Amino acid sequence: MWFLIGIIVLILVVFFLLIFFGYYNRIIRLENRIDNSWAQIDVQLKRRADLIPNLMETVKGYMKHEREVLENVTKARSALINAKTPQENMDANNMLTGALKTLFAVAENYPNLKANENFLSLQDELTNTENKIAYTRQHFNDSVLVYNNLVETIPGRWFASMMHKKTKEMLQIPEESREVPKVKF
């Protein structure tokens, strides 16, 4: 009789352990996915920052008199390089997007510049990194959503508190670009 009870207890313990392992692993995997998606955002931000010096060299000759426009871009780039927290990065990137939008609008007045192969290819590259930042941010927020859902619902929240895991924050999109900021080529 005690033997039977022992077996039942053993089965229950194994059952609980398996569920615990399941949730534990799932939470770890989701956290890794979030870290990975942030890393991807970072890669795109760096690529974007790296394109700017080349862009400046190319337009310098043509747009000599547009000092303010060019300075804004350079300032925004510095802000991006010096940004520390994720949200700072996002805000700096937004500033850069604004500054570049002005630069490309002004470039419309310089037909020689618009015919420059290098300029066109840089423009495409910058548009590309902007879109990629939008999508990597979307993926980051999606990953955070899945993680938060698991960590806040029952029974996930019990395991999460056992592991001292809290909910994570999503990246906020600044007010000006509330609609999905996909840039057109």
Residue 131 found at the interface with other proteins (CB under 8 A):
yes
> Judged by CB under 8 A, which of 12, 39, 81, 180 binds other proteins?
180
Instruction: Compute the half-sphere exposure of residue 121: CA atoms within 13 Å on the CB side of its CA.
Output: 5
C-beta atoms surrounding 99 within 10 Å:
21
> Min. distance of Cβ 94 from other proteins in angstroms?
18
Please pick, from the candidates 58, 93, 97, 136, the single residue that binds other proteins as defined by CB under 8 A.
136
Q: Smallest gap, in angstroms, from Cβ of residue 8 to other proteins? A: 33
What's the first-to-final CA gap in the chain, in angstroms? Answer: 76
Residue 104 interacting with other proteins (CB under 8 A): no
- x/- letters, 142..161, toward other proteins (CB under 8 A): xx------------------
CB nearer to other proteins: pick between 50 and 124: 124
- Write the Ramachandran bin of 167: left for phi over 0, alpha for psi from -120 to 50, otherwise beta: beta
Which spans in the chain are helix H? 2-60, 67-82, 86-107, 111-114, 117-152, 156-162
Residue with tokens 């692993």: 25
Nearer to other proteins, 23 or 140 (CB): 140
